[in-house]
Structures are given as structure tokens and as C-alpha cells.
Amino acid sequence: MAKPAQIKTKPTTVSVDDFIAAVTNEQQRKDSQTIRTMMEKASGAKAKMWGASLIGFGDKRYKSAATGREVDWFIIGFSPRKANLSLHLAINLEKQAATLQKLGKHKTGAGCIYIHKLEDVDTKVLQELINTAVKVK
């Protein structure tokens, strides 16, 4: 097996509970706890910090079809950012267009789904997207 490329963002020993507790926006803090529960349920993996601000679930080695480069990363994850909640779901967003139309108020970009707050989206549809991302090989 090839040795994966070294990337800057790696798993850390920082407490996910402490990280979420330090989120200053109360709505984002509550939404982060809910998303954490949704992702733990879907992945069967405990949350762990990746770098300073990403919460990841599970481990996967990704290989670039273009370069053959491999990196170790999480299966699914999210980050409570100042402007929004950034959900990292390794799914083809174009193939999920019909599901995304049912999601509610969101933006997409570079394999991420951005939502301002959970009450803006249908959480059942969000759970469906998370479940789909976990199944991607």
C-alpha cells in the first residue's frame, strides 16, 4: 500500500466537547451538538478533532483519480464557522441535486454544504445526505 501524502490538517487530541462548548454563538453551539449526534449515528464513529476547527467521523484513505495521490481523512465531518455550518460530505453534489432541492436554505461548494442554522433546513433530508455520504466508497 502506498504511503499517503502528508497534509497539514490531521487528527488531534483536542476535546470535541470542549471545542463545541467554546463556540460563542448559542444557536451554532446547539446545532453543532445536533449535527454531531446525526453524524455519529450515521457513521458509527465517535467525533474527533481534525486540525483546529474540523470535527471528523471515521477514517478513510482517499486516492485522487487524477494524480494517484493518497491522503488520510475523515469519512464525514463538519465545522462551525463564523458565517455558517460547513458540512464536509464526500458525495457528488450534482448527483444529489434532487435531494438538495428538498433540503432548504443552503449553499454548496467544493464538496461542502453550507447552512446558516439547522432550522433553515429539513433535518430528515440532511440525515439522508449524511447517510449517503457514509456509504460512498
Annotate 60-91 with three-state secondary structure.
EEEECCCCCCEEEECCEEEEECCCCEEEEECC
pLDDT-above-90 percentage for the chain: 72
DSSP H or E run through 107:
strand 107-109
Predicted TM-score (pTM) of the model is: 0.89
List pLDDT tens digits, range 65-81.
778 888 778 999 999 99
- Which residues pair with residue 95 across a beta bridge? none
Instruction: Categorize the per-residue pLDDT at 2 as very low, low, confident or very high, splitting at 50, 70 and 90.
Output: low
CATH code of the region 16-135: 3.90.1150.200
